[in-house]
Amino acid sequence: MSHAIDLSADRRTFLGAVGAASLTTMASASLLSQALPQEKSSFMIDPEKPGRTQHTKFAINIEMWFGDLPFADRIRATADLGFQYVEFWPWRNKDLAALKLACKETGVQVTQFTAWGFVPGMNDPKNEEACIDEVAASCKIANEIGAPMMTVIAGNDIAGVSKEAMHAQAIKVLKRLAPIAEKYNVMLILESMNIRNDHKGHCLWGSPDPVRICREVNSPFVKINWDLYHMQISEGDLCRRLREGIDQVGYIQVADNPGRMEPGTGEIAYARVYKELIELGYTKPVGVECSPSGDPKQAAYRLAQSDIWS
């Protein structure tokens, strides 16, 4: 899988001019084109297929988008907007046959899903064998649905246990998981959260600790799910931090802050960050793990606008 990245636009003009305008008519398409200047680029967003972006190939998180639709139909809705990739959370309790059929029908690919979540924690020795077994089972599912990556999460704080001890246990487990991931040719991506707003009490936040952990594991099959929303809240300084840890980046996710909605709704200058990623050699799709701020087509258009830069 490959592809790139970057964004910019007069967001206030968009919000003021477009408002609640429908994107399903030629008149509204014209309005969007006028209201969202293309800023030093001749690239024009297709209002009906905004997922056909200029630089970045985005993977829509279908847990957070199209929640009113059956799960497999969310893949079809993603394709209808012109996107080529999706991601989701755990695979259990999902109709995988229907998911595979939707992917086959649309050509949409799954970039990654969650193989091991917050609870029970990977950071607790009593959960070690269960984690090994579940990730091995998830690798088989990843091969079945064509997903090249899976997210794993370190776990929440354990009373009376130091952060150092919890991280050491996570390293131990990840070292055991690395040859399993290699066997199935699936990359495990360790996600660092933010503990200020969304995940208070989680044992892994910011970038220095996951970079250190993955360097110690020392496997091309264990890298970081580098979620820029979490990183912005935890530490900011997004481009410099990426430069410092790019050797351990397995996957990038985005959402704007505050609000955890699509890029273009908050404070992050994503165009600059996308450009940095390209310069650093990142070529994979970028996961859009956010809630759309309103109508999904309008949110997708704003996401596409964030990818326009020169």
Closest to 217 (Cα-Cα) out of 167, 252, 251: 167
For 172-297, strand residue ranges (E) read 187-191, 222-227, 249-254, 286-288
Compute the distance between CA of residue 289 and CA of residue 61 in angstroms, rounded to an integer: 5
Beta strands in the chain (DSSP E): 58-61, 85-90, 109-116, 149-153, 187-191, 222-227, 249-254, 286-288
Query: Do the beta carbons of residue 87 and residue 160 sit within 8 Å?
Result: no
Residue type, 1: M
Structure token digits, residue 40? 């030093």
Reduced to 3 states, what is the DSSP secondary structure of residue 284?
coil
Per-residue pLDDT, 7:
38
Question: pLDDT per position in the chain (310 positions), as tens?
Answer: 444 434 344 444 334 443 444 444 444 444 444 444 445 678 999 999 999 999 999 999 999 999 999 999 999 999 999 999 999 999 999 999 999 999 999 999 999 999 999 999 999 999 999 999 999 999 999 999 999 999 999 999 999 999 999 999 999 999 999 999 999 999 999 999 999 999 999 999 999 999 999 999 999 999 999 999 999 999 999 999 999 999 999 999 999 999 999 999 999 999 999 999 999 999 999 999 999 999 999 999 999 999 998 7
In degrees, rounded to 5, the angle at the alpha carbon of residue 111 between the alpha carbons of residues 100 and 73 is 40
Q: Which residues pair with 187 in a beta bridge?
A: 149
Can you give the pLDDT at residue 42? 85
Q: What is the pLDDT of residue 226?
A: 99
Q: Is the pTM of this model over 0.85?
A: yes
Q: Single out the residue of 243, 233, 227, 241 nearest to residue 287, CA to CA.
A: 227
Q: Please, what are the domains in the chain? A: 50-305 (3.20.20.150)
What pLDDT, on a 0 to 100 scale, did the predictor assign at position 41? Answer: 75
Burial string for 193-206 (b: 16+ CB within 10 Å, else e) reads bbbeeebeebbbbb
CA distances from 233 to 206, 228, 303 (A): 9, 9, 20
